[in-house]
Structure 1
């Protein structure tokens, strides 16, 4: 058997290079930059994807979840309060994705008289909260007010218990003496609205002064003759729809007409 011949490495390289030069159809192996000591290849840069033209609609984004976007928060400051023909200032709050306008103060005796033409209150004073009104009386007031403001884009109603409690909690807790007229500081009678510090939503007298009617016959918040433990956002009880008491009044919620029709 003939002896096996060996070829030097340089000879093999020369052979391959010669074939590549004189035979275009032959393709040699392409080495990477780190493998081929005779040739340095340019480093390939990653292509950058250009943004779509301005005319192309942007891809839809994933809606924020309740974990990243709270539902029950005040509406942005750009949303302005609404003032009705009675001078009630209604502040916008967002509750469960809906904008509700809460009256900044409890309904006063002057406002009640402007709508109903009478004043049933036991403790009298134009700027004091109307009191000694039953749930039936309040619903009649709301019906009459909505009729008077039928050309408005809002409709009035009582808040639900859940809406009221959300509004009463505001954006934090307040010192009760600073925020409420109650047994230790009221002098045994309700006081003019707005005399105490507002809560984080800008609402006054949510605690103390007079109990406030909510939908369904519930009252919330405590009153001028209540001890501290009865003046809280989650404190209340149910009253008879015909019941009248000098420690019970109310405040209103206004909703846009389109929202009101869906309720």
Structure 2
């Protein structure tokens, strides 16, 4: 992408992933098409360059942006798409609390939950893609603070901070019948215990929610 190494996009191959939910004891398989994902969570520098905003509690150019809602994340995706001459993926629906996603758009977007877990696992089958202290900032080693992106080891596909540091917003509704507009969060954060930093862990939050251990990363569909 050129402007900053933190903006690197990584090719994620197609594959199949099985998602599971501990609350409902349900599991389901999803076929994932190839796509591209940012190698790092969106940094504060990148976010500010696109939006002109500095929402994070901690400050640092290479710290992941945090204190951003799901709405902030999809608006960043659209702004980044326009900046690069791409078709925005999202159209907000005023008064509905939701947005429409155009899968044919070539612009930036949030990963789906299945894409996120497939990318996180990178072909691995255990709860994590490596020893937790080597791959993630979490309560046991973070010193109770967020850390610059890329400070731990990447997974086999070259994706950093998939676990720990900040939670990632995903596109999906968590469970519309029970939780309405709540969206999925994945990956665990710098203040979480080890059991929250696993490839399969699902959390949820209202799309307007902002807190200092939630950020996001971006994806793009691979042209057909």
Structure 2-normalised TM-score?
Answer: 0.74
Q: CA deviation digits over 1:208-260, x for unaligned, max 9?
A: 0000000032100100000000001111211101000100000011124x55x
Structure with higher Rg: it is 1
Q: Which residue of 1 aligns with 2:100?
A: none
Equivalent runs, 1:102-117 vs 2, <5 Å: 102-117=37-52
Alpha-carbon distance, 1:154 to partner: 4.1
- Alignment map for 1:88-127 (pairs within 5 Å): 88-95=7-14, 96=31, 98-127=33-62
Aligned residue among 177, 182, 188 for 2:133: 177
Summarize deviations over 1:61-96 as a string: whole Å, max 9, x none. Answer: xxxxxxxxxxxxxxxxxxxxxx35554111111224
- 1:131-210 equivalence runs, <5 A: 131-150=66-85, 154-172=106-124, 173-210=129-166
Q: Which blocks of at least 5 consecutive residues in structure 1 are unaligned?
A: 1-82
3-state DSSP class of the match of 2:108? strand
Q: Which has the higher strand share?
A: 2
Unmatched segments (≥5 aa) in structure 2: 15-30, 88-104, 173-182
Query: What is the CA–CA distance in structure 1 between the aligned matches of 2:158 and 2:210, rounded to whole Å?
Result: 28
Q: How far is 1:123 from its partner?
A: 1.3
CA drift at 1:180: 0.2
Q: Distance in 2 between matches of 1:151 and 1:223?
A: 31
2:63 maps to 128
Q: What number of residue pairs does the alignment pair up? A: 176
Q: TM-score, normalised on structure 1?
A: 0.64
Q: Superposition pairs for residues 1-263 of structure 1, below 5 Å?
A: 83=1, 85=3, 87=5, 88-95=7-14, 96=31, 98-150=33-85, 154-172=106-124, 173-216=129-172, 217-256=183-222, 258=223
Point out the more displaced range, 153-162 or 173-182: 153-162
RMSD: 1.8
Q: Which runs of 4+ in 1 moved over 3 A?
A: 84-87, 151-154
When structure 1 is superposed on structure 2, of 199-208 and 84-93 the one drifting more is: 84-93
* In 2, Cα distance between equivalents of 1:185 and 1:243: 26
8 A Cα contact 1:182 1:224, kept in partner: yes
- Considering Cα pairs closer than 8 Å and 6+ residues apart, tell me whether 1 or 2 has the greater RCO: 2
Q: How far, CA to CA, are the matches of 2:166 and 2:214 in structure 1?
A: 5
